[in-house]
Amino acid sequence: MPAATRSNVGIFGTGQAFEQLLLRLRAHPLAEARDCADLMLRELRRLIPAFLTRVDREDRGVRWSRYLTDTRSETGAIAARLLGQIDADPRPEVALTEFDPDGEIKVVAAALYESSRLSESQLLGIARGMGADDRAAVLRAYIGNRANRRHRPGRAFERTTYSFEMLSDYGAFRDLQRHRLLTIEWQELTTEHGYTEPAAIEEIGAVDDWRRVMDRTAEMHQALRAESSQLAQYTVAMAYRIRYRMQMNAREAMHVIELRTAPQGHPAYRRVCQRMHRLIAEEAGHQAIADAMTFADHSAVALERLSAERNSERRREAQPGGS
């Protein structure tokens, strides 16, 4: 399916959060996003008018949205001037681009902080002097016996952060993009990074048809891109790859990795999050933190995905009006 495929989206938030959303939508380069902002503002004013008085005031919200528009335009212009002739280096599907080598030490010190009378600097020194076994023992006590993935440890795991860069298909990105407990930034969706080809396409003998559709998508994207790179994104099939980055602390990483490696998840985002988990352990060297993510699932489970889809179908059929 192309990125233009319609989806249902439900949003809830505070008055202040809706104000910020509307300001950004009103600054969006696509007219349909700005139209959506106008429709939302009309509906929200029926319920929370006092929270939205600034949105369309010339000296407040309008000026704010104009600021967002101007900074996006100016940053795009200077990026085109400085980077326009540079080719992108090949990158793996998932790369750990930044981490704190002392992150695990800091998490151990933070885990001990509430239970001690020592200063943070003292605890850091003590944690730094511990062996790997003692640090792992501290984290095992802090984590406890987790009965399910919702039993997450406390804020000590917020003491270290990781930055990942991904180059995955757009469908996987859309699932990961929904997470609120992290920072995510993405580039425009294009056909430049190629596309994924699920094994199922070959199994049903549709490889030639698949590649023909992908090639037509690329041709259409290039034709429209000359008019508007923003509009051209609508034509891109979701199998094409998009580049994005995610920054999160260890507590957020536990939430995302354990949720998105669950057996019933889609293979594309499962693979991304499985790789994130391995990079925390192997490249960052934070083995005790990775071990704390006890519900990270690295099994190959195509049948579980099929079972989950069949269960969903049975629930739909059981509902009134189901077929």
Phi-psi category of residue 285: left, alpha or beta, with phi > 0 → left and psi -120 to 50 → alpha: left
Judge contact between 164 and 174, C-beta under 8 A. no
Greater confidence (316 vs 129) lies with 129
Q: What three-state secondary structure class fits 183?
A: strand
Q: What does the pLDDT read at residue 302?
A: 61
Structural contact between residues 273 and 257, judged by C-beta atoms closer than 8 angstroms: yes
Distance of alpha carbon 126 from alpha carbon 54, whole angstroms:
52
The arrangement of strands across the sheet holding 94-99 comes to 94-99, 161-169, 241-249, 183-186
Q: Which residues contact 187 (CB under 8 A, 6 or more apart)?
A: 242, 243, 244
Q: How far apart are CA 308 and CA 4, in angstroms?
A: 27
Q: Where exactly are the structural domains of the chain? A: 8-86, 96-164+243-308, 190-239
CA distance 237 to 95: 24
pTM above 0.95, yes or no: no
Q: What are phi and psi of 120, to 5 degrees?
A: -60, -40
> Is the distance from CB of 159 to CB of 219 less than 8 angstroms?
no
Residues 6+ apart with CB under 8 A from 204: none
The pLDDT value recorded for residue 321 is 60
Whether residue 247 contacts residue 160, with contact meaning beta carbons closer than 8 Å, is answered with no
Average pLDDT, the chain: 93
The identity of residue 39, as a single letter, is L
- Residue 310's pLDDT band (boundaries 50, 70, 90)? low
Tell me which residue has tokens 């051209």.
Answer: 232
Predicted confidence (pLDDT) at residue 144 exceeds the cutoff of 70: yes
